Amino acid sequence: MRKYLLIGVSAFVLGAGSMAYVSQQALASAQAPKAKTYKMLELFGDVVDTVERQYVTEVDDQKLIEAAIDGMLTSLDPHSGYLNPDSFDDMRDQTRGEYGGLGIEVTSEEGVVKVISPMDDTPAARAGIKAGDFITAVNGESVLGLSVNEAVKQMRGKPGEAVTLTIAREKTDPFDVKVVREVIKPKSATAKMEGDYGYLRVSAFNEKTTEEARAALADLRAKNPKMKGLVLDLRNNPGGLLDQAVGISDMFLEGGEIVSQRGRDPRDIERYNARPGDDASGLPMVVLVNSGSASAAEIVAGALQDRKRAEVVGLTTFGKGSVQTVIPLRGGMDGALKLTTARYYTPSGRSIQKTGIEPDLEVAETRDQAQRIANRAFQFSEASFRNALNAEEGKARRGAHVPAEAPPEGFDEQKGDFQLARAKDVLKYGSVAATPKLPKPEPKMAAVIPPKTALPAATLEKPAPEKK
């Protein structure tokens, strides 16, 4: 049976049509491309045979074919691919919200493993690994040139065992970090008070997210009945299951559309709507996002922004606007295909593929980050992928620019959270429009911090539960 995800995520089944009549001419024209396809398959067989006989060392036929299948799929777009049986099992474990590892989201392109984000309260987060770091070696063995699945396999192991990662980080020399593996049971939703305002942190979208978020918010409101507003923090949330993104959005919407997804056929449209009931009872809301907010996180931010339920503060999101279907092969015994089958759209009908969700108030987290955004060195987005699906015609992700706000010189970036502080200001004054604006930062000349050719990043693909 098929499994579904949206990058990090969704479920979408393409309908199959039938044709009542095909003319001889149409049949002939249809057979011509097939003949070419069969010829290319014959060529593929010849290549495999030649490699088996003449490569300098013996080759593993299974690995050779798996790599060929994966290469075919990844040539389509960055998020399609082949999952061998082990990888398919790992994906299902991650979706359940419990698995063994370091607690780190990674991607790979052109042989470089890049950190999307460390998960909250995991070994990777406690070790100080940061979004944007590059992992160049595991236990002294280089991972350059490996696929992301191969690199992840080297990082995983028995809980309690240590693994040493070699990290390359901008403006620093490569260094080693020792991390002890654990059984990862990330709590995807937590809540606390920030002064007069509630703070709900959603770090991922697994099978438990909506349940955990509802419980955390209900407990917080019960203990703080005079709460004046709510901050929903989706920063560095790499995505997850579509039904959980719909569930989190539904917590705060009284009805109407949350998201729609559309396939190759214009008639293939599936819409998801909210049900009556607002867990926050209409309290004013702000959603915090950044470039690490992807996929399912973007669905929530886009839905609440479009429906005027919340204003968005932070930085433009990742821009992951496509849907992947996980299709098991022989019930998963031969692994699964992860295939892009649709795009998703916010309630207003906008696709955010490549462009992302732009905040109502743009706020850089640090002064250094503002500098990098102005110098085009900050390219942590879907648009960085060379073969990413195109954005809507006429739309493009915003290029280098000076962000609207950044921490002033007197702000302690080590102890304070400037984006959160500005989110609370928006709640205090009632809207972004009414919030007093700070002076625009003045980045240095681009020559001071040279632009760096950025490597793309993607959200971690996770399996969705079977569609009922």
Q: Phi and psi dihedrals of 287, rounded to 5?
A: -105, 125
What's at 109, amino acid-wise?
Answer: E
- Read off the tokens for 431: 């809207």
Q: Model confidence over 329-372: pLDDT tens digits?
A: 999 999 999 999 999 999 999 999 999 999 999 999 999 999 98
Cross-strand pairs, 405: 363
Q: Model confidence over 225-234: pLDDT tens digits?
A: 999 999 999 9
In this predicted structure, the answer to whether residue 114 has a pLDDT above a threshold of 90 is: no
Catalytic residues: 295, 306, 320
Cβ atoms of 422 and 361 closer than 8 Å: yes
Q: How confident is the model at residue 31 (pLDDT cuts 50, 70, 90)?
A: low
Q: How confident is the model at residue 378 (pLDDT cuts 50, 70, 90)?
A: low
Q: Phi and psi dihedrals of 162, rounded to 5?
A: -95, 150
Neighbours of 89 (CB within 10 A): 16
pLDDT the model gives residue 457: 36
Q: Residue 415 contacts by C-beta under 8 Å, 6 or more apart in sequence?
A: none
Rounded mean pLDDT of 18-36?
Answer: 54
Closest C-alpha among 319, 421, 404, 410 to residue 369: 404
Rounded mean pLDDT of 140-155?
Answer: 84
Q: How confident is the model at residue 381 (pLDDT cuts 50, 70, 90)?
A: confident
Closest C-alpha among 98, 88, 298 to residue 187: 98
pLDDT the model gives residue 458: 37
pLDDT the model gives residue 98: 60
Q: Model confidence over 415-428: pLDDT tens digits?
A: 999 999 999 999 99
DSSP symbol at 436: P
pLDDT the model gives residue 8: 40
Rounded mean pLDDT of 162-189?
Answer: 89
Q: How confident is the model at residue 168 (pLDDT cuts 50, 70, 90)?
A: very high
Average pLDDT score, the chain: 85
**How far apart (Å, rounded) are the C-alpha atoms in residues 198 and 26?**
63
What pTM was computed for the model? 0.74
**How far apart (Å, rounded) are the C-alpha atoms in residues 291 and 64?**
36
Q: How confident is the model at residue 97 (pLDDT cuts 50, 70, 90)?
A: low
Rounded mean pLDDT of 305-326?
Answer: 95
**How far apart (Å, rounded) are the C-alpha atoms in residues 356 and 392?**
12
Closest C-alpha among 428, 234, 146, 173 to residue 154: 146
Residue found by looking up tokens 């909250």 in the block: 120
pLDDT the model gives residue 20: 35
Cβ atoms of 259 and 344 closer than 8 Å: yes
When mean pLDDT is compared across 1-10, 314-323, 334-343, the lowest value belongs to 1-10
pLDDT the model gives residue 446: 55
DSSP per-residue codes, 328-390 = ESGGGTT-EEEEEEEEEE-TTS-B-TTT-PPPSEEB-SSHHHHHHHHTT----SGGG-TTPPP
